[in-house]
């Protein structure tokens, strides 16, 4: 699979941390452009409706708030109806309302049958959103399981309790408490 990157790119959607777009283009014009990149005629309004931005169709990206920018990024990642959607720290820097709103969007997309790969430093987010969690340390996956099993395996006592601690405890137990740069 890694050999034919061109074919892979056609079936994935990616939202990057840096979400800047061409200046002086409206959201719907940008979505049309992204559709063209996949040789498709996208429907900007439908995509914007999916991420609750339908009233911003003619706005420029520079005029969007942080949460709106992230939702727009996801709309761009959805133009090709991807089988797998990659989200890179989608809620970093968002206020609680915007974060909850984005979580709901991710849940909805997931329940519509889309596989979502999400990276995050927010353990609450991972626990809330994910069916499976892989913990990476120094570029290596050091644990991978369902949130429940990870907690059972790695979270600290008390032993009698059925489920104790949370994914953050798991992360700290696995990667140590020392500060990271």
Asked if 6 is part of the footprint of other proteins (rule: CB under 8 A), the reply reads yes
**Sole binder of other proteins in the list 1, 3, 4, 18 (CB under 8 A):** 18
Check residue 103 for interaction with other proteins (CB under 8 A): no
> Is residue 171 near other proteins by the rule CB under 8 A?
no
HSE-CB at 90 with a 13 A cutoff on CA atoms is 28
Query: In this chain, which of 38, 59, 89, 120 binds other proteins, going by CB under 8 A?
Result: 38
By CB under 8 A, residue 36 contacts other proteins: yes
Is residue 19 close enough to count as binding other proteins by CB under 8 A? Answer: yes
- Out of 1, 27, 28, 34, point to the residue binding other proteins (CB under 8 A): 34
Report d(CA 167, CA 59) in Å as an integer: 39
Minimum distance from residue 168 beta carbon to other proteins (Å): 29
CA dist 22 → 25, 27, 34, 54, 96 (Å):
6, 10, 12, 20, 28
The count of other CB atoms within 10 Å of the CB of residue 111 is 8
My answer on whether omega of the bond before 158 falls inside 30° of 0, hence cis, is yes
Name the minimum Å distance from CB 54 to other proteins: 22
Q: Looking at the chain, which runs of residues are DSSP E strands?
A: 12-15, 84-88, 115-119, 133-137, 140-145
Closer residue to other proteins, CB minimum distance, 37 or 163: 37
Under rule CB under 8 A, residue 57 binds other proteins = no
Paired tokens of 179: 């500060």
In the complex, the residues that contact other proteins under the rule CB under 8 A are 6, 9-10, 12, 14, 16, 18-25, 29, 32-34, 36-39, 76, 80
């Amino acid at each position: 699979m890694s050999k034919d990157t061109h074919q892979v790119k056609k079936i994935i959607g990616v939202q990057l941390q840096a979400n800047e777009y061409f200046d002086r283009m409206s959201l719907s014009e940008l979505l049309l452009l992204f559709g063209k990149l996949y040789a498709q005629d996208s429907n900007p309004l439908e995509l914007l409706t999916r991420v609750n931005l339908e009233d911003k169709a003619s706005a420029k990206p520079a005029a969007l708030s942080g949460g709106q920018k992230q939702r727009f990024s996801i709309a761009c990642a959805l133009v090709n109806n991807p089988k797998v959607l990659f989200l890179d720290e989608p809620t970093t820097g968002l206020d609680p309302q915007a974060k909850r709103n984005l979580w709901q969007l991710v849940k909805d997309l997931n329940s519509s049958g889309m596989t979502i790969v999400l990276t995050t430093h927010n353990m609450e987010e991972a626990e809330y959103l994910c069916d499976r969690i892989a913990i990476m340390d120094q570029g290596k996956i050091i644990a991978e399981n369902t949130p429940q099993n990870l907690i059972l395996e790695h979270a600290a006592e008390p032993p009698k309790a059925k489920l104790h601690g949370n994914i953050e405890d798991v992360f700290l137990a696995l990667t140590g408490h020392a500060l990271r740069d």
